Structure formats: C-alpha cells, structure tokens
A and B are shown apart, each in its own frame.
Chain A
Amino acid sequence: AQKITQTQPGMFVQEKEAVTLDCTYDTSDQSYGLFWYKQPSSGEMIFLIYQGSYDEQNATEGRYSLNFQKARKSANLVISASQLGDSAMYFCAMRALNSGGYQKVTFGTGTKLQVIP
C-alpha cells in the first residue's frame, strides 16, 4: 500500500522568499510517480508538478521544483520567489498502477502555506 506523509500542517513565508514543503512517501513499487497539487480556498485542485520514479533529473515548472531524493523516499516541493497568490493548501500525492493496470492516486494530508507581505 502507498502512503504519503506531510508533517507540516502549516507554514509561513515572507513574500519573495523561497519555501520548501516536505513530503515523504512509502511504497514497495518500483515504478511510481509523485505529484504536487495546490488547493486555494475556492476548492479546486490545481496540478503543479510531476516526478516519475525513473526520472533522473528533478522536475521543474516555473517557480516550482521538486527535490526528489529516492533513497530517502522524499519529494519536497520548493517554491521560489513566493507571491501572495501562493497562499493555499498544498498536497503531495503518489500514483501507482493497481493490479488491473489502472492508476490510483494517494494524497497526503496537506500543508497550509501562508505568504506574508
């Protein structure tokens, strides 16, 4: 079974500073993927970044980068140059293929990020 752990219920960061949101995972699968989603107070889930377990380089998408350390089973999200609009809940998630060949996504409990002006 897959498990995602996010140990930071809440984080504060000063505007324009960088922030790291922690995520550790547990799986016995060799092939899997890790995501980060942003959920503003309005409720929709916004895809940010994806890292496959066999990807050799860390994923980057604009101001978002994923610090993937496979041996430590961690997949931390780094947001550079924080903006007020980054204030939201952030969820780490993992995908794996079930026995039927369909993907199943498991989410962590989230980290609430607040950006301070």
Chain B
Amino acid sequence: EAEVAQSPRYKITEKSQAVAFWCDPISGHATLYWYRQILGQGPELLVQFQDESVVDDSQLPKDRFSAERLKGVDSTLKIQPAELGDSAMYLCASSKHPTKYEQYFGPGTRLTVT
C-alpha cells in the first residue's frame, strides 16, 4: 500500500540553527499539506500545495518558515532560525484532489529545539 514518506523522523537542533524536513506524497497525489502539531493540540495547517503552487499559507510564519514543492512531487519545509517554540510534530499529508476529503498522513517529524 502506498504511503506518505517523511524524513527525518526525529530531529534535535539548537535554537537559531536551520532545519529542514522532507515529504514525499503518494504517487499521483496533487495536493500536499504541511501541518504543525504542538504537544497536546490538534494539527494546524501551515501550508497547502496544489501541484507546485501554494494555495494556502495563511498560517505559515513567513519570517522564518519556507516551503517548496518545485516539481510538484516531493516537498521541503524549512525553518531558519529555529526557536524554542518551534518544538512540535510536523506532519505531511497528501490527497489526490484538492476537494477530496481523504488525506493520507505520513509518520511525521518530531522536532526538538534546545
């Protein structure tokens, strides 16, 4: 069964350092989502791509976060510089069509900023 891949699974970084996460959606899925999940809360959408275009980044802290999906396939989420409050689980999800409700989630990257 096809799955969403994410790496790394765990990342520890010092504050002010740069960090990057990678996501490879299920093949053929045009829509890709990055969520941030702070401990004890539900996931919050950071950015949504349709193919290579950003369609929603209203909750992305653009002064330090950036996301790209250059060829409309895999995606990278970057934080520079990392802050203590960025410690969270970063989840990637994909869906076949932007209006289809089925989202398939990857295993997530757990980030700890020290």
Contact = CB atoms under 8 A, between A and B. Distances in A.
A44 B108 contact: yes
A104 interface: yes
A105 B108 contact: no
A54 interface: no
Contact of A43 (B50, B100, B103, B110): B110
Given A102-B48, A105-B45, A110-B42, A44 B99 contact: no
The residue in A97, A103, A108 that gathers the most chain B C-beta atoms within 10 A of its C-beta is A103
Nearest to A4: B42
Nearest to B99: A103
- In which size bucket is the chain B interface? 20 to 34
A45 B41 contact: no
A93 B106 contact: no
A35 interface: yes
A100 interface: yes
B85 interface: no
A44 B5 CA distance: 11
A57 interface: no
Contacts of B48: 102, 104
Interface residues of A, number: 25
A32 to B, nearest CB: 10
Nearest to A107: B42
A47 B43 CA distance: 14
Interface string B71-114: 00000000000000000010101000011111111111010000
Interface in A74-105: 91, 93, 95, 97-98, 100-105
Interface of B: 31, 33, 40-45, 48, 50, 55-56, 89, 91, 93, 98-108, 110
Interface of A: 4, 33, 35, 42-47, 50, 91, 93, 95, 97-98, 100-105, 107-110
